Amino acid sequence: MPDPIIHPASFRDPSGFVFQWNGKIYRQVNKIYAEDYDLLMNSGLYKHLTEKKLLIEHSETDEIIADPTNRYKTLLPLQLHHISYPYEWCFDQLKDAALLTISILKEAVDHGMIIKDATPYNIQFYKCVPVFIDTLSFEKYDADNAWVAYRQFCNMFLFPLYLEHYLRTDIQKTLVVYPDGIPVDITSKLLPLRSRTSLGVWLHVYLQNTVSRSTDGRKDGGKFNRRKLMNLVDHLERTIANIKSRYRLSEWNNYYGETISSKEYLGEKEKIFREMMTAAGSGGPALDLGANDGYFSKILAANGYDVVAIDNDSQSIQKLYNETKATQSCNITPLVIDIANPSPATGFNNRERPGFHERFGPNLVIALALVHHLVIGRNVSLRVLASWFGDISEKLIIEFVPKQDEKVQLMLASRKDVFDDYTAEHFEEHFLRYFTIKRREPIPGSQRVIYLMEKR
């Protein structure tokens, strides 16, 4: 049996660490955290949070010990299928994660504890909703001290939400560059003048920036108390609840409702897709590339697949996320990912946070109405594209949209056609190096073709 492998991201907190053994994720609680862990379990806070599905459940086990010298407990948490990061979330995902953090903080204080961390990396999305996963983030509450994680909460939650709201553009991706959150001085410079009419912006951005500069990072020696903490937390909660997404309209966020050629085309395409999905097998992890608003992701999910739906258009993912929440379509995880530039491995030694494709191992990949965007829109050749799909796919449902198609012609209208290799014949030639073509179905009423392929 192999030795336990400590997760490369789990080295900052002396309270414990996460490790992998025999295909499962465990968490060791170190002796230094014993008092706080016992308070979490005995105060009723753990039971209260897990019953409300705000905190991930765990069981204690003696099955495996990673570090006997420092070990107090070994925990086996609920196993999550997908790990995502805040720079892959839409606006409302980050907002919901912020509100969850505040809810947990308030519940913790009611039980004599507080959370020492306020980072979105402590949160994952499970069954459509955010859940807190850092069991070791709780410590005994001292009413005389201010909330140590306030600045971190602002940098990682409030400031990205403010910037996205006022600038009307995607900001979360900057969290790749600022893994500890967007600093207050940067935020204060980026916010437009009209933001200064907001009391929340004045208090949490401009005042904090002024105090931060005047104290030069030194702690304020003034006393704190629970009433001051609750006033701060309540104001943060109201502020975040009232921040709205202000995205401009996108041509993609209602693609299957309005932009496609015809309802008849969509009906024929869906029929072929369902037949190929059935032929591919039943259930398991699936990856929908260029998912748009999740039309085909929802079909996969309804047929037992656990779907990660990705698209570079944040408005489409926002729409899909809110729909999954409202309809309890709990086996779809929507993420904002640029397929031509997916999330890289980041953090210390580039090992703290694995790249996108290291975290997802789908049985089935679907790529509908996507190839022409990558080849003609992003200059990814069919040869390179076929090799990439060969790396990430066991089974593949993929659509080829020929150059004669009106959508491709629109793309070529604004650029020189240098894509002599972009033909159905070359498409098949390149993909046959990595896949066996199981089915090939033209979509009636169009020149488009859908393929079911299986890796060689």
H/E element, 242 = helix 226-242
* Neighbouring C-beta atoms of residue 184, cutoff 10 Å: 23
pLDDT of residue 328: 66
CATH fold for domain 255-455: Rossmann fold (3.40.50)
Please give the CATH number for the structural domain made up of 86-242.
1.10.510
| Alpha helices, H only, 263-381 | 263-280, 295-302, 314-327, 356-359, 371-372
Give tens-digit pLDDT for 11-32: 999 999 999 999 999 999 999 9
Is the CB of residue 126 less than 8 Å from the CB of residue 306? no
Average pLDDT over residues 397-403: 97
- Is the confidence at residue 326, as pLDDT, over 90? no
Is the CB of residue 268 less than 8 Å from the CB of residue 345? no
Average pLDDT over residues 318-339: 90
pTM for the whole structure: 0.93
Q: What percentage of the chain exceeds 70 in pLDDT?
A: 94
Is the CB of residue 291 less than 8 Å from the CB of residue 309? yes
The ranges assigned to domains in the chain are 5-77, 86-242, 255-455
Do the two domains 86-242 and 255-455 of this chain adopt the same fold?
no
Average pLDDT over residues 36-57: 98
139, 93, 97: which is closest to 117 by C-alpha?
Answer: 139
pLDDT of residue 253: 54
